[in-house]
Structure 1
Amino acid sequence: MQSMPFQIDIPRDWIIEAEVWQLVTLLVMAGAIAFGLYGWNAAIQQRSTGRGLPGWLRWAMGLMRFIALGIIGFLLIEPLIRSTEYNEEKPIAILLVDESASILSRTEHSTADTINAWSKAIMEDLIDRGLDVERYGFASHLRPIVSVDSAFRWDGSQTNLNEAIRTLNPRIENRNVAGIVLASDGLINRGASPVYGVQWPNLPVWAVGLGDTSAVRDRWINSVNHNAVAYLGNAFPVQAFIESQGMEGRAGQLEVVHNGNVIARKSWKTVSNSERTKIELMLNAESTGLQKYLLRIAVTNGEYDISNNQRTLYIDVLESRRVIACIGAAAHPDLGAIRMALESMESYQVKAFDIASLRNPNDLTDALNEADLVIAHNLLGKRWGGMEWSKLLAMNNLPIWWLAADESTWNALQDYNELGVQMSVSSDLIQTHQTRLNPSFASLEWPEGLAEAIRKWPPILGPFEQMTWSPAWSTLANRQFGDVETNDAFWGLRGSSSGSKQILSIGEGFWRWRMRNFAESQSHELFDIFIQRQVQFLAAEDLRKRLVVQTEKRVGADQRMTFSGQAFDAAWTPMRDANIELKLTDEEDQVFTRTMLPATRGFVADFGRMPAGTYEWEASSTLDGTSFDTNGLVIVEDTQIERTHAAAHLDILDQVAQNTGGSFLGYWKDTKITAAGDAIEASGIPSVIRHENTQLREAIDWRFFLILALTLLTIEWIVRRRNLGY
């Protein structure tokens, strides 16, 4: 049956909330108007123009006017049209492929094309079975492969299956997923154990083995543990983990080279065919500055690969640590969260004191004399030794982070104080609020994702008051109530131009931030960096420069080397049109140059992934006719995680498959293309899910009504003008 060339989709489900009398009134009014125009004097006389109307046309004209007015009146009572749409969701199969470099470390280059063709054949087989297929690659993170023409690539520098599954889970939650086909070599070197630590979705996993399952004779440095910072005259520990494969009964030797001299040596003998040996050394820090140490294993006869026999590490040797005096009126979880965030900063020493339980006041006095900065929790308005804490710390001109987290400190801010911050006095109420980082705050650089994450972290408990900050303060964070953003600052920072550098945060409860950060990402990194950057600001020497360029001091070989910078004019206003040239020089005096590009905050430059080694960088710019420059050092560390020749660990894949209700299908070369599809069919392919979507829209959105009313009125007007005139 052929479809009609013109069809009208008439809504069948109407919602009319008008009363019956309202509908009757509309119809009566429309009829009265139509009858008044065309119902009197059935033999209408010819007017000044036109030829008059016959009876039948007069009634037709009246009917058109009645229908048009009825439609308009009907739309005025705002009826609704309910429509229902049905969408079908086919079952989905997830194809998750390990893209780490170890997959192809001992194979020919053409193997990559072969595995891609194999994975494409699996995808086509699953599609033929009525499944939609989503492809993902993973190494250090999950990589969605959207385009059909895109291929897997095996260049990942680490294998973190835990991170991949953590990212995949929200993507497939509440969807019609049949299961996961996992292809990997089982050599997981980052994140939680795939057997015990990974939070797998409630889906079966069918595993396929990749990589090389044969064992070769080789020995390599798997990892090295060491401190990034050491102190002059002290000994610091170094732990090297040596993997030996096919070396049973053979001796090994590890040497440490510094400035061309062997400063340590240790030997051992491999007992089993596959063995991990831990070598512990104590090295002496004999000179300050960045020191380079080379760890190398003596080459063994018949070794498969000697390029992974050495590892370079860099130690920053300082004269002494900077001391942070962390003082609280009483024990508080916020203070504990700060202390834990500072533990990873090896160049700082935290000395913590609880005034309420302090036994020896001399210990606190000595710490204040040694301190480079002070973190003062709930000390505003309080005294110690007969003197207010604000005056006591001001005598030493120390940078201070004030944490005002109880009513006594809030009362101190309501009175006159030397901080230049005044709190209003209206009630004793308290409130909770979210945190919004000030987007225009330029004194500190935050890591990517912090601003978004901190909005979702648990609320802060603070006073129900307004804060007035003197111009010396810069707003670091504002209050936010639900989706309502405010400019009410509760966290501020003051530079040294107005005295010693200070930070003031008002409220308590950001210990929960650290817990939430870990719950979301299994890491405290964002919270710790948020605290550490503020402490580094307080401790840094205040050398104000018109050209400021920053980068991470250490990056991995698998990470991009990026720089951020700012330029200021003579009035210390950020410049947007500065031309900043950046030069990067490696150990072989090879020079790489970039021009820093304008960004949201200042300027940025990206050198991409650089080979392992030490790089010197220098930035220069001409500002208002004057040349400025700054320089520094950045270390690219080669972790060599994937440069091993261990045999594929397929037993792990078997355990994962068994634990999730799937099965291990075998090594990819020995597995049929149809094996994954057969396994999914055997477990039962989910049925197609039909989703019902109901929408309500106003009747005026259905254009047919308006078009009909306008058409009728137009025809009536033309006929009336032609035959009756005016």
Structure 2
Amino acid sequence: MSSETILYIVIAAILSFGLAVFMYGYRSKYTGTLKWSFGLLRFLTLFAILLLLINPKFKSDTYTIEKPMLPVLIDNSASVVELGQSRKVSALVSELKLNDALNDKFEVSYFSFGSEFKEIDSLSFSERNTNISKALKTTQELYKNQIAPTLLITDGNQTLGNDYEFAGTTFRNPIYPIILGDSTKYTDLQVQQLNTNRYAFLKNKFPVEVILVYNGTGSVNSQFIVKQGAAVVFKSNVTFSETNSSKTLNFTLPASAVGLQKYTAQLLPIDDEKNTTNNVKQFAVEVIDQATNVLVVSKIIHPDLGALKKAVTTNEQRTVTIKKPSEAVSLLNDHQLILLYQPDRSFAGVFSEIEKLKKNTFVITGLETDWNFLNSIQDHFKKDVTNQTEEVSATINPNYGTFAVEDIGFENFPPLHTLFGELSITVPHEILLDQAIDGFASESALLATTEVNGKRDAIWDGEGLWKWRAQSYLESNSFESFDEFIAKMVQYLASNKRRSRLEVSSETFYYNNNPIRISAQYFDKNFVFDARVSLQITAVNQETKERAVFPLLLKNNFYEVDLNSLPPGSYSYTVSVQDETVSRSGSFTILDFNVEQQFLNANVSKLNRIASNTKGEAYFVTKVSDAINALLEDDRYQQIQKSEQKVVPLIDWKYLLGLIVLTLSLEWFIRKYNGLI
């Protein structure tokens, strides 16, 4: 409180006292006790009112003790069970929770990780993948401004994500790995990785690459074989030694029959091999007798063409050919979809031939497009343009129902370039992406699809798609979301299949360590997407005949179900609509592959390195008491006393207002009691 405020308070006290004396001490008609009572009450009332007008401020200090944080990250993957460490982990967590000294010094938080990172609920050790780098990165973000040494309880075997050893280099807090398992090296042969195409064309050969690894001492001989059913389709003798511990085999297999072809790759085990599960890997290839051929016609060279080609050919079923308009006319009949990039008058012959052949088209326009020509050569859409250019962004239409599409973050993508003017579509259509300028809707379509007399077309009014693909990678470290969006567009446009009221999308086979999802769309009789119905899928195991029924959940403009709970095997399925006779059937196969069963021991060396890089220390699970003592004795982790100063104005002090009310009430009551009012 300043000296000036104190002076005001003193003056207020003197003034209040003077007024009270003047009112009840000088020429007062009251005598004795009443005079002193009224004078005291009036002094208190006046002084309290003047204090409120002065409104002095008081400071108060509060002190708190802040403990350092101790996040405990627990590996909840199936490899913990495979290494026989699940009971030790449960016992370790109980020990940490019951350690009073540790809980007195630290604010302990528990998290589990597998594919995802989350606060601990219960430990099941059933996660099919391990993402240690994601767990460390998330912890770093949670505690980036705090003292937070981290206990990492894991076997160190990662199956998903970036290399956690390098993720640890940016970690500001020390990491203390608690190593599950041992460092003993067992003699082991392993099919470490197998790469092949998902699709192959009939009567062609498809490539297979396999990486074989040996752990042990001395030299060993084995044989690698690939079986289809009981028939051996490939075999090769292999020799390993301590200095030559890996082999890479490249070979081809014939695609001689249409449909899903399943294979088993096996590296024959040697004597006394402890883990033979990792000697076998199943894989499959879908053999098709027809590919989707996409012809891209463009007069100019543009980065969009490369981005589109890469996105379309991500699916091996599709091929892309890029030609100039003069070269494309004779090739139109060999392709299912014609993509016309920024047409001008040189495209006249192409448009004429497309009209004769009734080919589906995908028109992409931009700054080099001749709209006068385009308006005159077709009657599906028109645009009155000027010489001005415009930057336009995209917003997804949530009611788009032609095919299932997810929002991949369109609003966050860089703007596209187009010529200024409103795009008018003159035939029945659906808008997939609306156009926005500076964040405001322009009431013009950016991307729309049409279907007239069985012919499907699309118009995309904007160039710069390569920026979208690049931004998609920056946001998710993968081109997958953008490529899948383009793939769905191409799949819809390249097909002339009659539209059904119930559309189901599924793969022919899945690996059980990856998401197993089936999506569906249901349309009413006017082919408008209907979000009010209930859909369910019935899956029947072909071998055991067991039936499983799951509901499909509504997700934006489609329904989806996750079937990861199904065991490996071949299944037939039926998607049906409740209270309707509409249904669709199909089949899929779940291939067994448990990546968590591929490990024999803990990755001790990598866990030691991440501990060293972050100034922590690694301990085996049997030495966890040493880890606890190290944390308790480390001077870097001290409790911090924090003070907080609060400045409270007197006007916020409710008791003073209560005092004013009380004194005035007492004065009125005394006067009333004595018959003075």
- Does the alignment reach a TM-score above 0.5? yes
Gaps of 5+ in 1: 1-11, 14-41, 44-53
Aligned to 1:144: 119
135, 143, 146: which one aligns with 1:164: 135
1:372 match: 336
Output the CA distance in 1 between the equivalents of 2:65 and 2:436.
40
How far did 1:210 drift?
A: 1.7
Cα offsets for 1:18-66 (capped at 9, x unmatched): xxxxxxxxxxxxxxxxxxxxxxxx99xxxxxxxxxx9x999x99x9999
C-alpha deviations, 1:354-397, integer Å up to 9, x for none? x4xx9xx44x3454332211222222xx022654x555544432
Corresponding residue to 1:326 among 278, 287, 296? 296
Residue 401 of structure 1 aligns with an amino acid whose one-letter code is F
- Report the Cα distance in structure 2 between the residues aligned to 1:402 and 1:248, rounded to whole angstroms: 63
SS at match of 1:156: coil
Number of aligned residues: 654
What is the CA distance between 1:321 and its match in structure 2? 2.0
Which stretch of the first structure deviates more once superposed, 156-165 or 284-293? Answer: 156-165
Name the CA shift for 1:457/1:408 in 2 (closer, same or farther; >3 Å).
closer
Residue of structure 1 in register with 2:636 after alignment: 684
Matched, 1:127 2:79: no
How do 1:515-530 residues align onto structure 2 when only pairs under 5 Å count?
515-530=470-485
| Structure 1 residue identity aligned to 2:607 | L
DSSP 3-state at the match of 2:474:
helix
Out of 608, 614, 620, the residue aligned to residue 654 of structure 1 is: 608
Q: 1:439 — aligned with what?
A: 398
Question: Aligned residue for 1:315?
Answer: 285
Partner residue in 1 for 2:22: none
Q: Provide the residue aligned with 2:576 in structure 1.
A: 620
Q: How far 1:699 moved relative to its partner?
A: 12
Residue pairs, 1:562-711, within 5 angstroms: 562-576=517-531, 578=533, 580-594=535-549, 596-597=551-552, 599-601=554-556, 602-621=558-577, 627-663=581-617, 665-669=618-622, 671-675=623-627, 678=630, 682=634, 684-685=636-637, 688=640
Asked whether the equivalents of residues 253 and 265 of structure 1 are also in contact (C-alpha less than 8 Å), the reply is yes
CA-CA distance at 1:87 after TM superposition? 8.2
Q: Is the 8 A contact 2:456 2:493 kept in 1?
A: yes
Task: Encode CA deviations 1:438-473: one digit per residue, 9 max, x unaligned.
Answer: 2222333345xx44x333333334455444444622
Q: TM-score, normalised by structure 1?
A: 0.75
- Counterpart AA for 1:510: L
Contact kept, 8 Å, 2:375 with 2:381, in 1: the verdict is no
- C-alpha distance 161-520 of structure 1, shift in aligned 2 (>3 A): farther
Q: Which residue is 2:432 aligned to?
A: 476
- Matching of residue 264 in structure 1 with residue 240 in structure 2: no
Among 179, 185, 192, the alignment partner of 2:155 is 185
In structure 2, distance between residues paired with 1:486 and 1:556: 42
Say whether the 8 Å CA contact 2:191–2:213 is kept in structure 1: yes
Q: Which residue of 2 aligns with 1:22?
A: none
Equivalent positions of 1:183-332 (< 5 A) are 183-196=153-166, 200-246=170-216, 248-272=218-242, 275-332=245-302
CA distance in structure 2 between the partners assigned to 1:419 and 1:720 by the alignment = 94
1:125·1:677 contact (CA, 8 Å) conserved in 2? no
How far is 1:544 from its partner?
1.2
Distance 1:118 1:541, change over 3 A: farther
Say which is worse superposed, 178-187 or 709-718, in terms of deviation: 709-718
2:76 is aligned, of 99, 111, 115, to 99
The unaligned stretches of length 5 or more in structure 2 are 3-26, 29-34
For the residues of structure 1 that align with 2:656 and 2:398, how far apart are their CA atoms?
50
In the alignment, is the contact (CA less than 8 A) between 1:103 and 1:185 conserved in 2?
Answer: yes
SS of alignment partner, residue 384 of structure 1: helix
| Cα distance in 2 between the residues matched to 1:456 and 1:87 | 43
**Is residue 336 from structure 1 mapped to residue 306 from structure 2 by the alignment?**
yes
Structure 2 vs 1, CA of residues 580 and 675 (structure 1 numbering), >3 Å: closer, same or farther? Answer: closer
Distance of aligned partners of 1:124 and 1:332 in 2 relative to their CA distance in 1, 3 Å threshold? farther
- The structure-2 alpha-carbon separation of the partners of 1:470 and 1:716, relative to structure 1 and needing over 3 Å to count, comes to farther
Distance (whole Å) between structure 2 residues aligned to residue 410 and residue 636 of structure 1: 50
* Structure 2 residue corresponding to 1:430, chosen from 390, 401, 425: 390
| 1:348 Cα deviation from its structure 2 partner | 0.4
Q: Structure 1, residues 152-173: CA drift from partner, whole Å, max 9, x if none?
A: 4432323333333344443333
Shift of 1:322: 1.3
In 2, the alpha carbon distance for the partners of 1:466 and 1:81 equals 65
- Contact 1:457–1:516 at 8 Å: present in 2 too? yes
Please tell me whether the aligned partners of residues 176 and 686 of structure 1 are also in contact (alpha carbons under 8 angstroms): no
Tell me by how many angstroms 1:207 deviates: 2.7
- 1:349, distance to aligned residue in structure 2 (A): 0.7
Secondary structure at 2:463 match in 1: coil
603 and 691 in structure 1: CA distance in 2 versus 1, 3 angstrom threshold: farther
1:176 shift after superposition: 0.7
Alpha-carbon contact 1:405-1:507 (below 8 Å) kept: yes
Q: CA deviation at 1:535?
A: 1.6
Q: Mean Cα displacement is larger for which, 412-421 or 253-262?
A: 412-421
CA distance, structure 1, for counterparts of residue 171 and residue 634 of structure 2: 20
Cα 1:636/1:84, change in 2 over 3 Å: farther
Distance 1:464 1:718 in 2: 82
User: Following the alignment from structure 1 to structure 2, what is the Cα–Cα distance between the partners of residues 522 and 608?
Assistant: 24
